[in-house]
């Protein structure tokens, strides 16, 4: 009697790195925070999330080994970048993120650009991509661009508006629609565009809502809205699926080379 063969093991899910927020309260223990919706979106897209922690400055080089194991990175939302690090004066409207997270994020961004790692920047993550590419930000839209329509609700209630997708962009290929209704909760936005970046979507008031690399071989996309959130549209799942597919293709090409 022939021995029974075990069924083949399912293929391993590709690994996707996700950076986390760092909190160090005055009266409490320092801890990390990450919206579970990012994890769920990655799982739904067929991959497995791996948290990239905000390590101390003297341990940041350890992130290199972690990047060797993932095929793509999601840069998450959070508090504001410290404007002083970008040559801008701070204002009362700016809420800087913890220095430890910003140190870790800047190191991570340097490695992403150096390696051309497949990357999806969301909210703050999109702004970081633009700044690292040499661009600038509006620190507070109501003050610096008063003609802009509301991009967040001061009461914290869900806020939505339309975005117009630029034709012949990667984002156009992903969504397949000229316009989308997206969630919106940002008070900062792209001002001057970074080098070798292009606008992929704008709000009706002209505010940049998505950017992407001009390099056709590099999936480097940033969106100002939050496609992982409960308030996202049904179409938003496509951006995670396309991101994971691009990450897997890029990793396979590196192995083949």
Q: Give CA–CA dist 18/48, Å, rounded.
A: 10
- Average pLDDT for residues 14-43, to the nearest whole number? 95
Task: Give the pLDDT confidence score for residue 126 in this predicted structure.
Answer: 98
- Is pLDDT at 143 greater than 80 in this prediction? yes
Residues across the chain: 257
Ramachandran assignment for 196, one of left (phi > 0), alpha (psi -120 to 50 degrees), beta (any other): left
- Is pLDDT at 207 greater than 60 in this prediction? yes
E runs forming strands in the chain: 15-19, 21-23, 31-33, 48-52, 72-75, 118-122, 137-138, 160-165, 179-183, 189-190, 197-202, 208-213, 220-223
Structure tokens at 22: 């760092």
What counts of helices (H) and strands (E) characterise the chain? 7, 13
The domain locations on the chain are 31-256
* 215 CB burial (10 A radius; 0-12, 13-18, 19+): exposed
The mean-pLDDT minimum among 1-10, 95-104, 109-118, 144-153 falls in: 1-10
Q: How confident is the model at residue 216 (pLDDT cuts 50, 70, 90)?
A: very high
3 state SS of 81: coil
Instruction: Considering the domain delimited by 31-256, tell me its CATH architecture.
Output: 3-Layer(aba) Sandwich (3.40)
Task: Give the pLDDT confidence score for residue 3 in this predicted structure.
Answer: 61
* Average predicted confidence (pLDDT) for the chain: 94
Task: Give the pLDDT confidence score for residue 252 in this predicted structure.
Answer: 81
- Average pLDDT for residues 126-137, to the nearest whole number? 98
Task: Give the pLDDT confidence score for residue 9 in this predicted structure.
Answer: 65
- In contact, 117 and 73? CB cutoff 8 Å: yes
């Amino acid at each position: 009697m022939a021995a029974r063969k075990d069924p083949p093991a399912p293929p391993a899910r590709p690994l996707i790195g996700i950076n986390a927020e760092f909190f160090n309260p005055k009266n409490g223990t320092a801890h990390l925070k990450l919206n579970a919706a990012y994890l769920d979106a990655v799982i739904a897209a067929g991959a497995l999330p791996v948290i990239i922690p905000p390590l101390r400055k003297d341990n940041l080089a350890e992130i290199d080994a972690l990047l060797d194991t993932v095929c793509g990175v999601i840069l998450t939302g959070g508090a504001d970048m410290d404007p002083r690090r970008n040559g801008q004066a701070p204002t009362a409207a700016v809420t800087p993120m913890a220095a430890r997270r910003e140190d870790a994020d800047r190191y991570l961004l340097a490695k992403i650009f150096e390696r051309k790692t497949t990357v999806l920047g969301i909210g703050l993550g999109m702004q970081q991509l633009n700044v690292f590419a040499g661009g600038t930000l509006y620190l507070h839209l109501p003050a610096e661009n008063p003609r802009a329509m509301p991009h967040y609700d001061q009461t914290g209630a869900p806020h939505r508006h339309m975005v117009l997708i630029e034709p012949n962009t990667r984002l156009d290929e992903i969504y397949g629609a000229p316009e989308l209704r997206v969630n919106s909760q940002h008070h900062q936005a792209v001002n001057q565009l970074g080098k070798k970046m292009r606008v992929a979507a704008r709000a009706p008031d002209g505010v940049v809502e998505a950017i992407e690399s001009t390099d056709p071989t590099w999936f480097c996309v940033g969106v100002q809205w939050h496609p992982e959130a409960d308030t996202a549209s049904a179409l938003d799942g496509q951006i995670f699926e396309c991101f994971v597919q691009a990450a897997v293709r890029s990793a396979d090409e590196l192995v083949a080379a």
